[in-house]
Structure 1
Amino acid sequence: MKAAATGLLVVMAAIFVIARHFEHAYPWVGYVKAFAEAAMVGGLADWFAVTALFRHPLGLPIPHTAIIPRNKDRIGDALANFLQQNFLVAPVVARRMRNMDVAGAVGRFLQAPQGEETRIRRGASRLIADLFESLDDERLGGLVKTSIANRIRKMEVSPLLGHALASAINEDRHVPMLEAAIRWTARALDANEGLIRDMVHKRANWVLKLAGLDAKLADAIVDGLRKLSADMHTDPAHPVRVKIEQALADLANDLQTKPETREKVEEIKQQLLDNKSVSMWLDTLWQKGREAIIRAARNPDAAMAGKLGDVLKSMGESLENDPRLKSAINMFVRRSVSGMAASYGGSIVKLVSETVRRWDAQTITDRLETTVGRDLQYIRINGTLVGGLVGVVLHALDAI
């Protein structure tokens, strides 16, 4: 573009010389001469103006030239202020994000059929896997374990347990557990029948042993226990079963309302957390969770095709189709981004300003000239042509 603009200026100069030579023989050539003369003036003026933006024309230190290199710091500050006032102000960010449906976009992404969005998904998966593998396993595991333990220590679990037990009783979700306990008791009785008979034989006096009544007493006890467990299993209204359910209901109430019960539960909780077995269990839990995350991240297609994929697709449908959830998430994102703009907008502006200040004059000149230089050369070409037309008009007016 520089060559084109300069070449046009050279052509106008050549036309001017030729027209000046033939002007006396052909009067109409005066219009051509006027066009070329004015075009040279316009082209040179615009060449000077364009060049003066980036450097001194012909290397001469003419005042008010090389404007951009001399004012690069001020340009950086002005650019930073422009960004801050027009883009990084919380109300502006919130207004620009008002029509952005982030929740819907995430929902559509999660529902994308297998094979779509794979490059983004695989890239994100590799990043997650590499992150979990690169972190110090022992330190991170200790951090996770400590965080979970501290969270549990601060949490009062007694009301939660009481509420969960009460809800289970109200919805009859405790019945399968109670029947399982009854069946376990019956199996334990069968497995330990010999132990029961031996205990009865040892505790019976010599009179019972002499009469052989200890064996009959043991048979009666075993048969009675068997009948009790069978009756409890088949009869939901059995008195013992009703008492057990009442005891569970009382326990649920005590866990939520009785201070002494809550204190006992808290003591048991603290003892469990201090137990080395629980600490080892938390370590195992972390290791299994970490391995599962890495395994799923290394094979995102398989993870998306399995139960995890079904869960994510279900989440995507909810995000896209539930207006209240979508509105809540979009509002959260909007407020988060606006808060980040308010909190870190100044740092971003400072980064822009300081980056421009660190650039040397030649760097910023080259970058700006590369970006807008093509249009500036068009200004030179237009100046040459417009100047020529003005020259023709002035020549015609002078001829009149």
Structure 2
Amino acid sequence: MSQSAQSLASVRFDADADAKLSALRWTKFVAAAALAVCVLVFAVAKSFETTYPWLGFVAAFAEAATIGGLADWYAVVALFRRPLGLPIPHTAIIPENQSRIADNLGRFIEVNFLAPEPVREKLAEVDFSALVADWLADAERAAGLSRFVVRLVPQTLAAVEQSGLRGFVTSRMLEQIEKVPLAPLAAELLSALTDDRRHQKLFDEFTKVIGRFLNDEQALATMREKIREELPSLFNLFRADAYLLKKIVASAGSLLDEVRADPDHPMRAEFDRFARAFIEKLRTSKQYAKRAEKLKRDFLARPEVKGLAGDMWASLSQFIEQDAKAPESIIRSHLANMFVEVGRHLAGDAQIRADMNQGFVVALASFVESQKSGVSKFIADQVKRWDLAQLTRLIEMNIGRDLQYIRFNGMIIGGLAGVVLYVAERLFLVG
């Protein structure tokens, strides 16, 4: 016996299997007893028909009922086995046609149950997105999913590293950056900076840098030396260099203080004009655009840039691997919280749920459509592998009791037909 046949033979019947078998046996016994009664009534009625003519009707009924009962017994038995074990043609219909029944059953399920429209209608009844939302919103399940995802991260990184995807992404990223015009982009960024006069903070920082420079002793000594070189020797005898340096530093410091204290200082307005003019040149000047593009290409061509991308990837991979192994993983915690939030937002957004459900229906219906022929073949192959005795027992156990009532109906209908024919015969003879 094949493995599938053995597995079928070991199937546990449901709780009422014994009751079904008991009811089937009882119905068979009653049908056989009814047939025996018909035979007995026919014999008795025929024996006393000459004495009691009305028994002719009883004999006709019993005779026809016996014939009808025997014919239906034959028909019912022929479905499952050969009557009396005789090799009569067109008997044992189910066992003899197992392959054809299996193929027809597979095709029937494919055509009637796996057709596109019924499948879509049935799938549309399921709220897949609500199931996903409820599942994700559960903190324990979200934590389990985050642990599973984090465990896969190091393997994913290793696969990316071995596949050469990192190099491909890096080169593609640099190619895309190279296609971006730098001058207009810089102009837009600087425009955003100057909209609220935020560039004036940069100007304030510049004045502070100049102020610190004017207070630096080494810088002052250098400036004094330059002044000494430019002045005639006579002036140096009277320490004019020190006097000039002091005046220059004092005037410059005073000017810087005034600029920082006055938001409407003319120097700030001049800086505004300079910034606007520079931004406009970045937008419109071809010369500026060429110089910016050359600067960008030179920068991207430097090996340090490609090395920087590799270092960033290595640092990111190392951090993720270390965090994945940590008992209190930051990534795992954030992922769990993110899954819970996704579940809650999904539960509260009917439009997204509707779109998701539509996507599920399309995807699953397409999958069923592509696999339904395989399902049909699978069902047919499984039915073909079933053990004949077990298959017959299963079918007979579930529908055999209803089939036995055909025998009762056959006896009643046959008996009534026999009475009708007997009456017609008597009328014909009398006529």
Partner of 1:197: 221
Aligned counterpart in structure 1 of residue 194 of structure 2, from 136, 148, 169: 169
Distance, in Å, in 2 between the alignment partners of 1:223 and 1:305 is: 59
SS in 2 for 1:124: helix
Distance, in Å, in 2 between the alignment partners of 1:223 and 1:167 is: 36
Structural mapping, 1:1-400, within 5 Å: 8=24, 12=28, 16=32, 20=36, 23=40, 40-41=73-74, 43-47=76-80, 66-68=99-101, 75=107, 79=110, 85-86=116-117, 102=129, 112=137, 114-136=139-161, 139-190=164-215, 192-202=216-226, 204-205=228-229, 207=233, 208-291=235-318, 293-294=320-321, 302-303=330-331, 305=333, 326=351, 345=366, 353=373, 362-363=381-382, 365-366=384-385, 377-384=397-404, 386-394=405-413, 397=416, 398=418
Distance, in Å, in 2 between the alignment partners of 1:259 and 1:106 is: 55
CA contact (8 A) 1:165 1:252 kept: yes
Q: Which runs of 5+ in 2 are unaligned?
A: 1-12, 46-57, 82-89, 421-431
For residues 185-220 of structure 1, the C-alpha deviation after alignment (integer angstroms, 9 at most, x for no partner) is 444554x44134224314523524332222233333
Partner of 2:427: none
Deviation at 1:150, TM superposition (A): 1.4
SS in 2 for 1:278: helix
CA contact (8 A) 1:158 1:256 kept: yes
Distance, in Å, in 2 between the alignment partners of 1:153 and 1:268 is: 11
CA gap of 1:34–1:148, structure 2 versus 1, over 3 A, is same
Q: TM-score, normalised by structure 2?
A: 0.62
Distance, in Å, in 2 between the alignment partners of 1:44 and 1:215 is: 131
Distance, in Å, in 2 between the alignment partners of 1:235 and 1:132 is: 56
Q: TM-score, normalised by structure 1?
A: 0.66
CA gap of 1:315–1:120, structure 2 versus 1, over 3 A, is closer
Higher mean alpha-carbon deviation, 9-18 vs 388-397, is at 9-18
Deviation at 1:153, TM superposition (A): 1.1
Distance, in Å, in 2 between the alignment partners of 1:232 and 1:115 is: 61
SS in 1 for 2:263: coil
Deviation at 1:352, TM superposition (A): 5.2
Deviation at 1:177, TM superposition (A): 4.2
Distance, in Å, in 2 between the alignment partners of 1:81 and 1:253 is: 71
Q: How many residues align?
A: 373
Matched to 1:263, the amino acid is K
Deviation at 1:11, TM superposition (A): 7.0
Higher mean alpha-carbon deviation, 363-372 vs 272-281, is at 363-372
CA contact (8 A) 1:201 1:215 kept: no
Deviation at 1:395, TM superposition (A): 5.4
Matched to 1:47, the amino acid is F
CA contact (8 A) 1:153 1:270 kept: yes
SS in 1 for 2:269: helix
Matched to 1:379, the amino acid is I
Percent identity over the alignment is 17
CA gap of 1:60–1:170, structure 2 versus 1, over 3 A, is closer
Distance, in Å, in 1 between the alignment partners of 2:248 and 2:306 is: 43
CA gap of 1:99–1:160, structure 2 versus 1, over 3 A, is farther
CA gap of 1:170–1:119, structure 2 versus 1, over 3 A, is same
Structure whose CA Rg is larger = 2
SS in 2 for 1:237: coil
Distance, in Å, in 2 between the alignment partners of 1:57 and 1:189 is: 117
